[in-house]
Structure 1
Amino acid sequence: MIDFPHLQDYLAPVSKARLNEDETYDDLQIGNLIDVYGDDHIPDLDTADIILLGAGEQRGNGTPNNANAAPDNIRREFYQLYHWHKDVRLADAGNILAGRTLTDTYAAFKTVLTELIDAGKTVIILGGSHDLTYAQYQAYASKKYIIEATVADAQIDLHENSPLRSKRFLLEMFMEQPNYIRHYNHIGFQSYFVQPRMLETLDKLRFDCYRLGKVRENLEEIEPVLRNTDLFSVDINMIKHTDAPANSVSPNGFSGEEACALSRYAGMSAQLSTYGIYGYLPEKDRDNLTAKQIAQMLWYFMDGRSVKNKEAQLTERESFLEFHIAFTDIDTIFLKSKKTGRWWMQLPDKNFVPCAYTDYLMASNNEIPERWLRNQERL
């Protein structure tokens, strides 16, 4: 049971009437079906599959806190969309109250997230600055949960000399002791923004970094990465400026459709419990296009969650096609789901890890799949 009266000390309610300018929502619009923490309503978070949580804190980016304008802008667009997924129940827990200091906001954010994660919920964070990812991680670390974390960002925020916490929060995540990050993935970095030695350091840690151009060549290769992820953090600067005008970092990036596909892959993960979308500044947006883009990414996350709900457990072998493969004197097993078409491969420790069809093809040609090799190195 989620102790919502306790969480209320850290949360501000949401006004659906204000978001929709006192108009009523259509019966099948998300705004009509989502269970929202409002001025006179306590949501039933225990029955929800996905819970929205606003966190508009911007001080980590060097700007004054903007009173949660970003989360409500996204909600305004998201609530207008139509709910197609009857098997996915939504709730909205409201907005994290900004603390007197940035550290106070982190503490409140961590407290609320920890309770929701412990209750087995999937939380979507409508965020402020990207450094809130650190507080997102702290929700796991405070309970000593060992996790896999994935960040999608045009840049890699490891700048130790930056005065902005949003530019150096990954250092805190990686260097904190004790550390509970089993593995880290970085998706969509743009090489000209990244110091080469930074990538060398991440590679020595056996972390995986995927360049934007490489990911766009075959987006499906990232699905197994997100299937194995507990914490997913997105900076909207991963999306090119024309598709997300509030991104003023780069004209290049993922297209809006590709960002929606990544969001859908995240929704398909049975392991993922927190998904934060950060870096949205309403004052830089044009015609609310970035808010609309993020809203559609949330819709596709729900679509992925509906697919996940149909997936069988790996122990239900009758739901999988089984392929016994030998490559370079290694005997292993590949599984393909009859329901979703997704693939898994067995490591020498007999555990199965998510993979792609291309890994199966490489093994069939007596080549060692790089994904298999990287997982084996980490073992």
Structure 2
Amino acid sequence: MADFTLLHDYLLPISKASLNDDQEYDEFQIGGIVDLYEEGYAPNLDIADIILLGVNEDRGYGPGKKGPDAADIVRREFYSLFYWHKDVKIADMGNLRKGVSLADTYAALRTVLAELINSNKTIIILGGSHDLTYAQYRAYATQKYVIEVTVADALIDLKEESPIPADSFLMDMLTEQPNYIRHYNHLAFQSYFVHPRMLETLDKLRFDCYRLGKVRENLEEIEPVLRNTDMLSLDINIIKHNDAPANTLSPNGLGGDEACALSRYAGMSGRLSTYGIYGYRPEKDKEFLTARQIAQMLWYFVDGCSVKNKEALLNERDAFYEFNIVCGDIDTVFLKSKKTGRWWMQLPGKGKDFVPCTYNDYVTASNNEIPERWLRHQERL
């Protein structure tokens, strides 16, 4: 159970009235149903499926003047949307108190997330700078949980020589010992921003990196990646400037609708426990369009959670179509969910474990070719 009283000292309450200009929310709006931490009122975290946590920490961007608090601006837009998923309960813990130092904020975020992860909750972090991803990971590491991590970012933040935490945090996350990352995926990087040797290093570690063009070419191929992910960190710089004006890194990127689709896939994951959305700079936003983009991504995440709630367990074989395939010298099994249409394939070995895949993997195997996804899993084993 998630005990709010244990976390109270780390948090600041939110005023729902101030988010809606002192107007009442409609009972069909998200703001009308969300269980929000307000002054004198604590939300019931035990019945929540999704918990929101604002982290207005921007010191990781480096020195310089910063804009207004990002989390509340996104909340304002998210709460105004209509609530279509009555089977998904949403709670909001308010905002994390900033520490005296950036390291203090990391420690506080790590503590709060660890408590919620241990309570089997799904937490969305409306964050500041992307280096908060490191504290997100440390919440698992302190519990010695071995996890699969996915980062969606136009850059690969491995600049060891940079004094700016948002540019270098991945180095600590991927190299510190002991390490609890079983596998790492990087989505939607833009090649012209990335040193080739960075990719060579990640590939030698058998990590999977998907450039922007690959992600856009067939977005459905990314769904199994997110289905197998425990922790997701997304920088809004993956969204092209026209769809997210606060992203001033590049005119190119995912479309807003594609970012919503990725967020929905994340919500459909039965393993995902934390989802951080970072890099929103309100002072660079135009007419709050980026805040609205993020709010709609959150809406689609909730939509994905609704789909997840309808999915059967893999051992409930009557809920799946089963296909036995001989691919080369390998006998394997593919499963297709009757409820959601998603696919799994069986790996060899003692466990005969099933891993997420796509219909295209099944077609490839049916043509007597070993799917690349199958090979990558085997390499890692």
For this structure pair, what is the TM-score category when the shorter chain's length is used for normalisation? over 0.9
Tell whether the 8 Å contact from 2:49 to 2:121 is kept in structure 1 after alignment: yes
Task: Return the match for 1:352 from 351, 354, 367.
Answer: 354
For residue 186 of structure 2, what is the aligned residue in structure 1?
186
Tell whether the 8 Å contact from 2:125 to 2:277 is kept in structure 1 after alignment: yes
Task: Return the match for 1:371 from 365, 370, 373.
Answer: 373
Tell whether the 8 Å contact from 1:268 to 1:308 is kept in structure 2 after alignment: yes
Q: How many pairs does the alignment contain? A: 379
Tell whether the 8 Å contact from 1:235 to 1:277 is kept in structure 2 after alignment: yes
Per-residue CA deviation, residues 69-93 of structure 1 (Å, 9 max, x unaligned), is: 1000000000000000010000000
What letter is aligned with 1:322?
A: E
For residue 78 of structure 2, what is the aligned residue in structure 1?
78
Tell whether the 8 Å contact from 2:78 to 2:295 is kept in structure 1 after alignment: yes
For residue 319 of structure 1, what is the aligned residue in structure 2?
319
Matched, 1:303 2:330: no
Aligned-pair identity (%): 70
**Mapping 1:326-337, distance limit 5 Å:** 326-337=326-337
For residue 98 of structure 2, what is the aligned residue in structure 1?
98
What letter is aligned with 1:120?
A: N
Per-residue CA deviation, residues 152-174 of structure 1 (Å, 9 max, x unaligned), is: 00010000011100011000011
Aligned equivalents of 2:302, 2:92: Cα separation in 1? 14
For residue 176 of structure 1, what is the aligned residue in structure 2?
176
Q: CA deviation at 1:40?
A: 2.1
Tell whether the 8 Å contact from 1:29 to 1:81 is kept in structure 2 after alignment: yes
What letter is aligned with 2:301?
A: F
Tell whether the 8 Å contact from 2:3 to 2:45 is kept in structure 1 after alignment: no
Aligned equivalents of 1:13, 1:66: Cα separation in 2? 22
Tell whether the 8 Å contact from 1:158 to 1:171 is kept in structure 2 after alignment: yes
What letter is aligned with 2:343?
A: W
For residue 150 of structure 1, what is the aligned residue in structure 2?
150
**TM-aligned CA distance change 1:261 to 1:211, over 3 Å:** same
**Mapping 1:92-241, distance limit 5 Å:** 92-241=92-241
**TM-score relative to the length of structure 2:** 0.98
Q: CA deviation at 1:65?
A: 8.4
Q: CA deviation at 1:334?
A: 0.4
What letter is aligned with 1:162?
A: S
SS in 2 for 1:232: strand
Tell whether the 8 Å contact from 2:67 to 2:282 is kept in structure 1 after alignment: no
Tell whether the 8 Å contact from 1:57 to 1:65 is kept in structure 2 after alignment: no
Tell whether the 8 Å contact from 1:156 to 1:189 is kept in structure 2 after alignment: yes
Aligned equivalents of 1:67, 1:369: Cα separation in 2? 47
For residue 47 of structure 2, what is the aligned residue in structure 1?
47
For residue 89 of structure 2, what is the aligned residue in structure 1?
89
Per-residue CA deviation, residues 245-265 of structure 1 (Å, 9 max, x unaligned), is: 000000000000000000000
Tell whether the 8 Å contact from 1:57 to 1:68 is kept in structure 2 after alignment: no
Aligned equivalents of 1:63, 1:206: Cα separation in 2? 35
SS in 2 for 1:184: strand
Structure 2 stretches lacking a partner, 5+ long? none
**Mapping 1:228-307, distance limit 5 Å:** 228-307=228-307
Aligned equivalents of 1:210, 1:276: Cα separation in 2? 19
For residue 14 of structure 1, what is the aligned residue in structure 2?
14
Stretch moving more, 202-211 or 63-72:
63-72
Tell whether the 8 Å contact from 1:240 to 1:253 is kept in structure 2 after alignment: yes
What letter is aligned with 1:377?
A: E
What letter is aligned with 2:70?
A: A
Q: CA deviation at 1:68?
A: 6.9
Tell whether the 8 Å contact from 1:68 to 1:95 is kept in structure 2 after alignment: no
Per-residue CA deviation, residues 207-248 of structure 1 (Å, 9 max, x unaligned), is: 000010011110000000000000000000000000000000
Tell whether the 8 Å contact from 1:36 to 1:42 is kept in structure 2 after alignment: yes
Aligned equivalents of 1:330, 1:81: Cα separation in 2? 49
Per-residue CA deviation, residues 89-116 of structure 1 (Å, 9 max, x unaligned), is: 0000010100000000000000100001
SS in 2 for 1:186: strand
What letter is aligned with 2:19?
A: L
Tell whether the 8 Å contact from 2:67 to 2:283 is kept in structure 1 after alignment: no
Per-residue CA deviation, residues 291-329 of structure 1 (Å, 9 max, x unaligned), is: 000000000000000000000000000000000001111
Q: CA deviation at 1:5?
A: 1.6
Per-residue CA deviation, residues 306-359 of structure 1 (Å, 9 max, x unaligned), is: 000000000000000000001111110000000000000000020000001110
**TM-aligned CA distance change 1:65 to 1:176, over 3 Å:** farther
Aligned equivalents of 1:94, 1:36: Cα separation in 2? 7
SS in 2 for 1:168: helix
**TM-score relative to the length of structure 1:** 0.99
Q: CA deviation at 1:64?
A: 5.8
